[in-house]
Amino acid sequence: MRVAINRSSAASSWFGGIYTYESMMLDALCEIGKTFTHELVYLSYHPDDLRSLVYSGALQYRNLPIVPLYGAPEPQQKPPEFYVNQGPAVPARPQSYDLKTVKFDSAGEAIFRKAGVDLMFLMSPFMHAFSLRLPFVMPIFDLNHKINPQFPEVSANGESNARDYMYINACRFATMIVVDSETGKSDVLRYYGDFIGEDRIRVVPMYSPIARSPRPTSADLARVRTKYKLPDRYFFYPAQFWPHKNHELILRAVRAIADETGEVTPIIFTGSYADYHRAVHMKKLQALAAELGIADRIHYLGVAAGEDMSSLFAMSVALVAPTYFGPANIPPLEAWYNGRPVIMCDLPGIREQVGDGGLLVDPRTPSDLAGAMRKLWHDEAMCTALAKRGQERVESYNWESYVDRVRDTLEDACESVRAGRTPVYPAA
């Protein structure tokens, strides 16, 4: 049986959660492929595809290392330059999908079948999962167009309709759907249970690539501190500048701390604003920081190099990540691995992931976040205790466990195809 591994073109951005998730998944599949009964092949659709993935630093093909031929991507422009160079973004006219009708791609199907593909293993959600009328495995990262439709990035300009169309038909025809938590599984059954049962859903918790790297040495810490001119103490939040990441809550919490105690609590932000909409949001955050009188406490490092991330975590007081989106996130795993506690929002999926390894706050209340930040700023014993419990959570789910979960999912899917237990497509 030939299994085609594929990722969405949306991951051609070399940064962010999708890139990290897919790099991690592809590493696991490369390892599985060394002994797997069936043939695994990687299908690439565009020139930057494989080149971007190898920046994870560990990809191999049949034990041969894959290395990039070019340097790291150029730093992104400053927010105002997006305005000058691109002008205001004009939303594309939304394509309206009929949720009761599915469109198939007969030409694409013929190409895949000619290539001998029996099963597709997608590492991101993608429309062609079902349009090619082949058995497939696909992850569903989140259903925030249902849970948090107030954020335009998941609902505006036809996005909610497009996601519904994709997920309804993915659930209808998938051999397996992969989710990152029990909460994610419950969400799929809650919103799309008319199209899928739990027998076709597999839970594969996230694993952080950082946990496969050596912890930073004192020389690493000194180099990174000098490179980025870091303050002595700081909170850390690596995230792209989408509104749902909730950077605004942090800014208002920093102001609340200053008003109550007079303390200066620096924040380090890293991450991408690599399109017009995120650049606009970044500019709004900069304006808000100036308005609140805390601009001197906000340090934006841009897109930090991957080899620097462990040091940035390790030298922080804590990760502060008040995102509205889950169910699970990679940054808390990275913070725990590097011995730091986390502050996140008290939301169902995040609550499941964090457990007793961090402090949970109301995502709408700056004073709640300010209180949690003050606790960790002053109580290193609490930081140590929380970080230890977090490390125990990380260690209970190691790389071998993750690879085993991926392998089990792949084996179950292959057996379903072999036994003819996959959902039946309508006639062409």
Q: What is the pLDDT of residues 5-47, one digit of tens each?
A: 887 654 444 457 787 888 888 888 888 988 999 988 877 665 5
Mean pLDDT of 259-273: 93
Better-predicted residue by pLDDT, 67 or 205: 205
Q: pLDDT of 323-376, one tens digit each?
A: 999 998 999 999 999 999 999 999 988 999 998 999 999 999 999 999 999 999
pLDDT band for position 167 (50/70/90)?
very high
Better-predicted residue by pLDDT, 79 or 183: 183
Position 262 scores a pLDDT of 93
**318 beta partners:** 235
State the helix-helix crossing angle for 276-292 and 79-86, rounded to 10 degrees: 140
Instruction: Place domain 214-395 in its CATH homologous superfamily.
Output: Glycogen Phosphorylase B; (3.40.50.2000)
Percent over 70 (pLDDT), the chain? 87
Residue type (1 letter), 21: Y
Region 2-91+104-207+399-418: CATH code: 3.40.50
Cα 248 to Cα 31, 283, 296: the distances in Å are 41, 12, 16
Give yes or no for residue 78 having a pLDDT over 60: yes
Position 323 scores a pLDDT of 96
Q: What would you report as the CA-atom Rg of the chain, rounded to the nearest whole angstrom? A: 22
Query: Looking up tokens 């995120």, which residue turns up?
Result: 278
Q: pLDDT of 198-232, one tens digit each?
A: 999 999 998 887 777 889 999 999 999 999 999 99
At residue 348's C-alpha, the angle toward residues 343 and 354, to 5°, is 35
Cα 375 to Cα 186, 256, 317, 358: the distances in Å are 33, 14, 11, 12
CB atoms within 10 A of CB 357: 23
**Domain spans of the chain, in order of start:** 2-91+104-207+399-418, 214-395
